[in-house]
Structure 1
Amino acid sequence: MNISVVIPLLNEQDSLTELHDWIAKVMQSNHFSYEIIFIDDGSTDDSWKTIAQLSEKNKSVKGIRFLKNFGKSQALHAGFEKAQGDVVITMDADLQDNPDEIPELYSMIVNDGFDLVSGWKKKRYDSVISKNLPSKLFNWAARKTSGVKLHDFNCGLKAYHIDVVKNIDVNGEMHRYIPVLSKNAGFTKISEKIVQHQARKYGETKFGMNRFIHGFLDLITIWFLSRFGKRPMHLFGALGVIMFAIGFGFALYLGVDKLFLNPSGRLITQRPQFYIALSTMIIGTQFFVAGFLGEIVLRNRPDKKRYLIKDELNLN
């Protein structure tokens, strides 16, 4: 199979049929063998009913229905697990991503040898204040922090070699940082392509300003995980040693001063340096213990499902 199109969605019943017909037309005109995997992330409208109708008409349409809304990252993870194509395309279900971009994205993976190609919505139809400016600030911070030189981390339209999606773990709210996860996993051939952004035709956006706050918090998380996720002792142990050394230095100074330099002076417990020494040594010990606990948790964490699937269509 050439292409798997993975589409997470939430309450997008009005756009699904039009999106399916558009994708099918592109695939047929380019003679691609394909599958379309819709992941219904707990929709409360008739999205699943529409997916079921499409799957009856077109056996290339497959569906996954979550028991409730678990989030876009979990939806992508479920789609990636089921994908069988040589190239995996992700796109949003709101018709703001253009399926006509698929052939060139496919070519960049297959012919140009990229592991991942991310769409760049250079010209957007979103509100400048509520989306464009925060998005630019977010993408700048993501580039500086991760070292991945992309202009648009948030673009849902991306293409992946199948090996990428089978070897990365998309969890929490990390769908924004799949290029970073891919780089950390060793898939470093990452590029981008300017894609056409279209105005929303049906419904309303599911994302507000809070997604940028969450995005920056997730950016800090992935920065930490990228550098210390597999070796937490390197961070917490280092901080613990530094803090303990500071405290021990103060304690040593107080001891020398009391015994040799000023034996008739104030009691050690009456000097502020004593409490600085005591506090920093305790904090240093706690950091060190946190590092050990992090290493233990890392080596003994169970693999746990992060979502529950209610129904599936055309999936083995």
Structure 2
Amino acid sequence: MDLSIIIPLFNEEESLPELSEWIARVINNNGWSFEIIMIDDGSTDTSWEVIEKLSAENSYVKGIRFQRNYGKAAALNEGFKASQGDVVITMDADLQDSPDEIPELRRMIIEDKYDLVSGWKKKRYDNTFTKNLPSKLFNAAARKSSGIQLNDFNCGLKAYRKKVIKCIEVYGEMHRYIPVLAKWAGFRKIGEKVVEHRPRKYGTTKFGWERFINGFLDLATITFISKFGKRPMHFFGLYGTLFFLIGLISCGYLCVAKLHYADNFSLTNRPAFYLAMTTMIMGLQLFLAGFIAELVSRNSSERNTYLIEKKIGV
């Protein structure tokens, strides 16, 4: 199969028929084989009924329905598992991503040999204060920490070589940083394409103010995981040992001073004694945190297990 189009969605009943028809028209004009996989992330409207109707009318439409809302990353992860196309393209369901971009994205993967191509919504129709400014801050921080020179990490319109999406796991809220996950997996040729950003035609945005806080927390998480995800003891153990040694040396110094000055030196009346004890305790706690993190990282077999209520064609 040439193409898999993965569309995560939440309460987008109005846009789905128009979007699927538009995608099919663009791809059929190029003569490629394809599938459209729609992942209903626990919608409370009639989105799933629309997907069922589209699937009954068109064999290329497939669906996955979550039993509850898990988030975009979970939806993408399940879509990646189900996809069969040599090139995989993700896009949002709100018609703000244009299917007319599909041919060029596919060409960059097939002919230019990119592993991943990320869209860049250079001209946006979003509110500058609530979206553009925070987005620029996130992207600048992500570029600095990852070394990947992309202008729009969070753009939902992306194209992947099949091998890329079969080698990465997307969990939590890490959909914003899929290029970083791909880089960790060893895929270095990551490109960018300026894409059209269209005004929202139906409904309202599903993201609130919490996405700004989550973005910074995700960046901190992904930066830590990139360096210490497989070896957390190297982080916690290093600083735990350092803190413990500082406290131990301080305690040793105070004990020697006590022996030297005898009755004129009181340990328990000196703030330095309590600081030294606190530093030793912190060191032990950090070391134990590293040990527990090692156990967790080696036994998290259910990290990407989700309750899926129904499937169609996958």
Same fold, TM-score > 0.5, yes or no: yes
Q: Is the 8 A contact 1:236 1:288 kept in 2?
A: yes
Q: Within 5 Å, which residues of 2 pair with 1:171-186?
A: 171-186=171-186
Query: RMSD value over aligned CA atoms?
Result: 1.1
Paired AA for residue 310 in structure 1: E
In structure 2, what is the Cα distance between the partners aligned to 1:186 and 1:193? 21
Count of residue correspondences? 314
Deviations 1:221-267 (A, max 9, x none): 1111111111111111111111011101211211222223x233222
Distance in 2 separating the partners of 1:138 and 1:278:
39
Aligned to 1:25: 25
Aligned: 1:278 with 2:273: no
Over the matched positions of the two proteins, sequence identity in percent amounts to: 61
Q: How many angstroms does 1:178 deviate by?
A: 0.5
| Corresponding residue of 1:129 | 129
Aligned to 1:53: 53
CA distance in 1, matches of 2:60, 2:48: 16
Q: Distance in 2 between matches of 1:304 and 1:277?
A: 39
Counterpart Cα distance in 2 of 1:28 and 1:69: 33
Give per-residue Cα distances to partners, 1:62-106, cap 9 Å, x unaligned: 011111111111100110000000000000000000101001100
What residue number does 2:227 align with? Answer: 227
Superposed, which structure 2 residues align to 1:285-300 within 5 Å? 285-300=284-299
Aligned counterpart, 1:148: 148
CA contact (8 A) 2:37 2:64 kept: yes
1:190 counterpart letter in structure 2: I
1:113 corresponds in structure 2 to 113
SS at match of 1:267: coil
Letter in 1 for 2:33: S
Give the whole-Å Cα distance in 1 for the aligned partners of 2:89 and 2:258: 71
Give the Cα–Cα distance (whole angstroms) in 2 for the partners of residues 285 and 39 of structure 1.
45
Decide whether the 8 Å contact of 1:131 with 1:209 is kept in 2: no
Equivalent position SS for 1:152: coil
C-alpha distance in 2 between matches for 1:228 and 1:268: 39
Task: Tell me how far apart the structure 2 counterparts of residues 194 and 304 of structure 1 sit (CA, whole Å).
Answer: 34
Report if aligned partners of 2:35, 2:62 keep a CA contact under 8 Å in 1.
yes
Gaps of 5+ in 1: none
Q: Secondary structure at the match of 1:23?
A: helix
Give 1:278 shift: 1.1
Matched, 1:265 2:252: no
- Judge which range, 301-310 or 6-15, deviates more: 301-310
Separation in 1, partners of 2:99, 2:299: 43
* 1:153–1:176 CA contact under 8 A, matched in 2: yes
Q: Distance in 1 between matches of 2:300 and 2:217?
A: 23
Q: Given residue 124 of structure 1, which amino acid in structure 2 is its aligned partner? A: R
Query: In structure 2, what is the Cα distance between the partners aligned to 1:214 and 1:291?
Result: 24
Separation of aligned partners in 1, 2:248 and 2:303: 43
Residue 67 (structure 1) aligns with: 67
Q: Which residue of 1 aligns with 2:309?
A: 310
